[in-house]
Structure 1
Amino acid sequence: MKILLPVDGTELSLHETRFALRLLQDGLRASFVLANVQEPASFYEIVTADHPQLIENAALEVGEDLIAPSALLLESAGVPYETAVISGDPAQAMLELIEIHQCDMVIMGSRALGLIRRALEGGSTSERLVQDSPVPVLLVKPPPPVEAVEPE
Structure 2
Amino acid sequence: MLRTVMLPTDFSDDCESILGFASGLPALGVKVVVLTHVVEASGMEGPIIAEKVDEVRDRLRTSAAVLEAAGLKVEVRVPTGDPFDTIVALATEAGVDAIVCGSHAKGLMTQLVAGSVSERLLRDAPVPMLLARFDLLKNQGDPGSLLKRFGEKVLMPTDFSLSASHAFTSAMELPKGLIKTLYLMHAVDPGLTGEKLRRAEEGAEFHLKNLQAMAQQQGISASVVVRRGEPQRAILEELDERRATGVITGTRGRNAIQEALMGSVSMTLLRQASCPVMIVP
Match of 2:69 among 73, 76, 84: 76
The equivalent residue for 2:34 is: 33
SS in structure 2 at match of 1:72: helix
The equivalent residue for 1:49 is: none
Match of 1:110 among 90, 103, 106: 103
Q: Distance in 2 between matches of 1:35 and 1:66?
A: 10
Q: Distance in 2 between matches of 1:108 and 1:3?
A: 10
AA aligned opposite 1:60: V
Q: Distance in 2 between matches of 1:58 and 1:113?
A: 33
Match of 1:58 among 51, 59, 75: 51
Q: Distance in 1 between matches of 2:70 and 2:130?
A: 21
AA aligned opposite 1:14: E
From the superposition, tell whether residues 38 and 79 of structure 1 become closer, same or farther in structure 2 (CA, over 3 Å): same
CA distances 1:90-124 after superposition (whole Å, capped 9, x unpaired): 1111001101101110001224559xxxxxx9825
Report % sequence identity.
31
The equivalent residue for 2:81 is: 88
- Structure 1 residues not aligned, in runs of 5+: 47-51, 115-120, 147-152
AA aligned opposite 1:33: V
Q: Does 1:142 align with 2:134?
A: yes
Q: Is the 8 A contact 1:31 1:79 kept in 2?
A: yes
From the superposition, tell whether residues 18 and 132 of structure 1 become closer, same or farther in structure 2 (CA, over 3 Å): same
How far is the alpha carbon of 1:143 from its aligned partner?
Answer: 2.6
Q: Is the 8 A contact 1:3 1:33 kept in 2?
A: yes
Q: Is the 8 A contact 1:41 1:55 kept in 2?
A: no
How far is the alpha carbon of 1:137 from its aligned partner?
Answer: 1.0
From the superposition, tell whether residues 113 and 87 of structure 1 become closer, same or farther in structure 2 (CA, over 3 Å): farther
From the superposition, tell whether residues 98 and 19 of structure 1 become closer, same or farther in structure 2 (CA, over 3 Å): same
Select the structure of larger CA radius of gyration.
Answer: 2
TM-score of the superposed pair, with normalisation by structure 2: 0.42
Q: Is the 8 A contact 1:14 1:69 kept in 2?
A: no
CA distances 1:129-150 after superposition (whole Å, capped 9, x unpaired): 111111001222113578xxxx
Where relative contact order (Cα < 8 A, 6+ residues apart) is larger, the structure is 1
Q: Distance in 2 between matches of 1:98 and 1:140?
A: 20
- Structure 2 residues not aligned, in runs of 5+: 108-112, 140-281
Q: Name the Cα RMSD after superposition.
A: 2.5
State the aligned residue count.
Answer: 131
